[in-house]
Amino acid sequence: MKKLLLGLVVAAAAAGCATTTSPTGRTQYVGAVSQAQLNQMGAQAFVETKAKTPQTKDTRQLAYVRCVVTALIRELPADSGQGTSWETAVFVNDEPNAFALPGGKVGVYTGIFKVAKNQDQLAAVIGHEIGHVVAHHHDERITRQLMAQGALGVAGELVGSRYGQGAANTTTQLGGMAAQGFFLLPNSRDQESEADVVGQRLMAKAGFDPRAAVNLWQNMIAAGGSRPPQWLSTHPDPQARIGELQSRASGLLPTYEQARASGRKPRCG
């Protein structure tokens, strides 16, 4: 009965949203917020990050990153952000990370230069992050989160009406763990793999070597750092990820070679 009720709540929540097909053919639930709201949220998050984290004073670093971003977004479809005025910032932070936000915001941490050794590897990082935006992953995450919260709220009320508030609180907590492990996190792994696909295609079309994505993740692994078990991680297993990137790179070489032959030869750094 509980499973049926939860299913009905999720179905009702989904009915208020839209379904679309992702770049890799997945069915996505989106539409909990409008694109204008997403852009506003992205802009606000970017402003807050700039307020909290110092930006590099190295103009060469900033020009380098902007060059890579410009080459990548030039290859975006018109309806996926090509016409957006993209803003780029380089933050002084040792973490090897980067991000892209709806509304055309790209942030790169200086720590990424430890693992992204050249422009092609940096393009793999930034292409992946832009891939999240192009594939509407922010919209999807917000929509799924709202669906999960709605289902948990109803489940808690049902248990509480019969067994008391303590049981309701426990149900909500346990349900939250279940939703995180089996509903939200698996979607995140799908999104990470999908962003790899989109980003690698994008970098090849822009004239960056798609094989560099493999080298990047090899560098990431060599840099070390503990990670949670694969089933409780928002990222695919690194070795499996490298295998997929390597296999895909071979198929993208003609795209890369055609881009180069057409004059798309980025000279960023």
- Is position 129 annotated as part of the catalytic site? yes
Which residues, including other chains, have CB under 8 Å from residue 262's CB and lie 6 or more apart? none
Scored b (16 or more CB within 10 A) or e, 43-59 reads bebbeebeeeeeebeee
Contact status, residue 249 vs residue 200, Cβ threshold 8 Å: yes
Alpha carbon 206 to chain centroid, angstroms:
20
Cβ burial of 29 (10 Å; 0-12, 13-18, 19+) is buried
From 75, 95, 129, 140, the catalytic residue: 129
Give the three-state DSSP class for 33.
coil
| Burial class (CB within 10 angstroms; exposed 0-12, middle 13-18, buried 19+) of 21 | exposed
| Amino acid identity at 56 | T
- C-alpha 234/C-alpha 14 separation (Å) is 23
C-alpha–C-alpha distance, residues 123 and 71, integer Å: 9
Residue among 146, 150, 153, 99 nearest 127 (CA) = 99
Which residues participate in catalysis according to the annotation?
Answer: 129
